[in-house]
Structure 1
């Protein structure tokens, strides 16, 4: 294993450990018992089949939004609009689930494909503007998050309901949630979306690491000028990368629409799935396997946090601090790399 790959593994692990360490220090400073706090966190995430099911359920959309952001990163793009792409994908999947009556073997794939298409089209706008006019994708994607939020709210009230704040429920044939699976995990909200997320994670890994198109995208992200000199179409690859990134985020929205909830409701603000995807991608070092592991960690933290106040008295907001510190240490990875290098030289 090369030194660079070792660093890509060690830095996230140390960032997580340091994040938990800072969390423990804060708990001690405010008079809480960190052992009790983290025990409650672990119990809340894995203490029963119900909790495990909920952890997996929270992980599913995080894997997909994390993959969306990581995919764009690998192509040299910063897709901060995954949140908006989640909204349009969620709406498209629910619309298909409500509008059509089809066999489940057709209905579910059509709903997922509709969500992917909606997310891809939404992400194509900043991709085209970036490729043809040099408009920075961060600015456009941020603005389009607000557009997606309010447009989907309007469409829920006018298309999927009679002026209400919640759409009609999808047909059972479009649902990823089955009674048998829920019973297996203590009647949690787990659904078969975890299979979809794993399949897409494998696909993204294979696409980026084992195909010519993936190599082109990575080359454009690494050095657009060199890629252009080598005969690669930088503009085409920028648009393609944004569309595929948006498609992944759109499927993440579908997992909420036809998996967890079975409907879509109007949002007063963001779900944070897209923004959490940025953190997941950073912690996962922008690799598909890393994203899956990071998403599972974040899912466990978010579910486990709910049990901390009743079991240990520690406020659940402490988990947000832990997550923030993990991201801080990942962002400041150069300091961790420096410490690792100095420690390894000291051993020699």
Structure 2
């Protein structure tokens, strides 16, 4: 039997992701047609082009750098979701762990004058503590990690606002400018910024996030520890029977997942690209967009790198929609539609597998019928006429 290329998991993930992206763009285009059909084509094109809307190469490079600056933390949040999901856990608390990373890294940098490395480690520690709380509740109290994660998201958000109010500007709700207050806390550029028209925000975070994706793949796929984690996720009772510490593995998974999300926050705010607004009343979307990036990438760390860039690309591209023809929120709506449909990747893969299985069953049944049917000349009795 010929090998069906569509049964390959990588091919399925790629096709499912492309289908979701095209569906999202199509629905976004239809929405634009209903609002103002005359500018729908230009608007959806502007979203797709993003930094390519500029004509000069130097300007394109600069704004590509801006997209990459926010791709790094999104990738870390996606890896946080992915790592937990591979172990059978849904870490929706990544948004709160991200907030903890923001709070501790910025406070240490602005209030205590710490350098970038201890600030990053402290951000990871904050995410780890929150992950450990969800893990302990899951292991010993049977509290679903989704429930505890959602509750912690809001608790940590308001604790972050309270803490960073001590290091905010007097006349605005934003924290102090990091480059002015403590330049030693800015992540090193490593000369990468020169590739993006001396965009000083692009630096260590970008290669570090890619290395983190490689490390997650190695841990999950090439180590005994990763095998135990995945075995626990598949069936914790069977893992316990085999001598694996299922409770320890659940806690460790959420601790590592929290560390990744907390590190992602430090990768953004220690670049000086953004300041935290101490009046923030909603959980940062970065943690939730990480869910879409993880699934759009087929739950593969390498696919998640490309998916994170794409989601950040279309999110930033929404800013180029003509605001004289459409309201300000239309760019967020288009981005949200595409991100929402990214969550259907696994469903599309399931539908593809069902279709392939049905076709194979029909082909097998047909071959069986043909083999059981006697040849047309079996009863002709050629020898009896002689």
Task: Please give the range of the TM-score, normalised by the shorter of the 2 chains.
Answer: 0.7 to 0.9
Map 1:107-118; keep pairs closer than 5 Å: 107-118=115-126
CA distance in 1, matches of 2:324, 2:359: 39
How many angstroms does 1:80 deviate by? 0.7
CA distance in 1, matches of 2:138, 2:195: 47
Residue 210 of structure 1 aligns with which residue? 222
Map 1:189-200; keep pairs closer than 5 Å: 189-200=201-212
Residue 36 of structure 1 aligns with which residue? 42
Give unmatched runs, 5+ long, in structure 1.
none
Q: When the two structures are aligned, how many residues end up with a matched partner?
A: 343
CA distance in 1, matches of 2:235, 2:39: 49
Larger radius of gyration: 2
How many angstroms does 1:331 deviate by? 4.5
CA distance in 2, matches of 1:252, 1:89: 8
Residue 167 of structure 1 aligns with which residue? 175
The answer to whether the 8 A contact 2:293-2:342 is kept is no
How many angstroms does 1:312 deviate by? 8.2
Partner SS, residue 79 of structure 1? coil
Q: Does 1:143 align with 2:151?
A: yes
Give unmatched runs, 5+ long, in structure 2.
54-59, 365-386
Q: Does 1:81 align with 2:89?
A: no
Q: What root-mean-square deviation, in Å, do the aligned CA atoms of Structure 1 and Structure 2 show?
A: 3.0
Q: TM-score, normalised by structure 1?
A: 0.87
How many angstroms does 1:321 deviate by? 2.0
CA distance in 1, matches of 2:38, 2:335: 14
The answer to whether the 8 A contact 1:202-1:288 is kept is yes
CA distance 1:186–1:143, change in 2 (3 Å): same
CA distance in 1, matches of 2:12, 2:43: 30
CA distance 1:162–1:41, change in 2 (3 Å): closer
CA distance in 1, matches of 2:19, 2:355: 11
CA distance in 2, matches of 1:280, 1:326: 7
Higher relative contact order (CA 8 A, sep 6+): 1
1:120 maps to which of 117, 128, 131:
128
CA deviation string 1:103-124 (max 9, x = no partner): xxxx322211111111001111
Map 1:15-26; keep pairs closer than 5 Å: 15-26=20-31
